[in-house]
Amino acid sequence: MRPITVILLVVALVIAGATAFFAKRLMDNRADTAATQTVREKEILVATRDITVGKAMVAGDMEWQPWPEDMIDKRYILRDSNRDAIETFTGSTARTGFVVGEPIQSARLFHQGDAGFLAGMLSPGMRAVAIAVKPEAGAGGFLTPGDRVDVILSYSFKRKGSGGISIADSNIWEAGSQTIVRDARVLGVDQKMSGDAAATGVKMKSVTVEVTPEGAEKIALGAAIGALSVALRSLAMADGEDQYPRATTDMDTLMGLRDALVGNTLKKFQAADTPLTQAPPKSVAKPKTVSQPTGSNSVKVYRGGQLTTEQFR
């Protein structure tokens, strides 16, 4: 074998060996880096299942799970500093929903009686209003937090006929009913805000709903002039319905009250056989006219009740 061939083979073997050596070193370094990153984890509290708004938390809803240390937010609950967190949050209520595997945050949970817990459940710009209801006026007691309802105002008035309109009855009963708030979210039933608060048809005394500021005003006014009731809505939205809760306009309310108060009276008046007629005006004495004799150049003039005659030539 020629010497040059032997030299080339040796050089090729050296290069191949060096390449394999450096490749192994590079892979070992990457493995060491990955192992180092895996070690830099801490356990945080996460949700084991999907949690809805208003759900009462149980121990099985939470668990400790390793989490990359460089991805831990200051709002997360660390096991190192909160080893009793599961016991602490058992029995609390979710202000907002969680998805499975999502880190639990203490600000999104509250205990019944905590200050400001209800305000934390309200959507931005919305108001919470309590409505006193009877079982028959509250969907038979089968309302639960998270349901959607309409608020209905029923009113009746008793007044005497007056104003010159001939009415057979001395007392008139006028009544009406209309929806003043639509698609309001139920926040709580009595003082309970968990999803199982009213699942068995309990006799509720009040329902707290989430409404717009205008809706809150209408409910307050409705409670002062009549009786309020709530009607449970279907979970499926009908075609053409608004996506967001709305209140009946002031004009709608005024028109409804007008129809209830004077609608029947106006109908009776319009159907009466004898229409109202305006009294004839008083007769006014016509001014006296003085006839001038034919062919005469004289004119009779009255001054202060005295008659004088003027002659013209």
pLDDT at 203 over 50: yes
Q: What is the pLDDT of residue 241?
A: 58
Each residue's pLDDT tens digit, 115-147: 566 776 777 789 999 998 876 655 656 788 888
DSSP label at residue 92: -
Tell me the mean pLDDT in the region 56-69.
92
Gap between the Cα atoms of 263 and 256, Å rounded: 10
pLDDT for residue 166 is more than 50:
no
Average per-residue pLDDT for the chain: 74
What number is the average pLDDT over the span 67-78? 91
Write out the H or E segment, with its range, that includes residue 126: none
Residues of the chain with pLDDT > 90, as a percent, come to 23
Confidence at residue 268, expressed as pLDDT on a 0 to 100 scale: 47
pLDDT of residue 115: 54
User: Please, are residues 84 and 106 in contact by the beta-carbon 8 Å criterion?
Assistant: no
Question: Which residues touch 50 (CB under 8 Å, ≥6 apart)?
Answer: 97, 98, 99, 100
Q: What is the pLDDT of residue 219?
A: 92
What pLDDT sits at residue 145? 81
Higher pLDDT residue, 111 or 75?
Answer: 75
Nearest 5°: CA angle at 146, between 142 and 149? 65
**pLDDT score for 270:** 46
> Partners of 230 in the beta sheet?
138, 151
| Domain ranges, ordered by start, for the chain | 3-39, 42-110, 124-270
Percent of the chain with pLDDT over 70: 60
The answer to whether 247 and 218 are in contact (CB under 8 A) is yes
153, 224 Cβ separation under 8 angstroms? no
CA distance 92 to 113: 10
Q: Spell out the alpha helix ranges (H) of the chain.
A: 3-39, 85-89, 117-121, 213-225, 250-270
Cα separation, 229 vs 141, in Å, equals: 12
Residues 202-227 have a mean pLDDT of 88
pLDDT of residue 75: 92
Closest C-alpha among 209, 229, 43 to residue 133: 229
According to the 3-state scheme, what is the secondary structure of 234-284?
A: CCCCCCCCCCCCEECCHHHHHHHHHHHHHHHHHHHHHCCCCCCCCCCCCCC
Q: Residue 123: what pLDDT? A: 77
**Buried (b) or exposed (e) across 260-295, using 16+ Cβ within 10 A?**
bbeeebeebeeeeeeeeeeeeeeeeeeeeeeeeeee
The pLDDT assigned to 134 comes to 76
Least confident interval from 19-23, 205-209, 230-234? 19-23
**For position 129, what pLDDT does the model report?**
93
Where does the pLDDT of residue 269 fall: very low under 50, low under 70, confident under 90, or very high at 90 and above? very low
Pick the range with the lowest mean pLDDT from 45-49, 67-71, 168-172: 168-172
pLDDT band at 309 (very low <50, low <70, confident <90, very high): confident
CATH architecture type of domain 42-110? Alpha-Beta Complex (3.90)
Task: Specify the range with the lowest mean pLDDT, choosing from 19-28, 38-47, 238-247.
Answer: 238-247
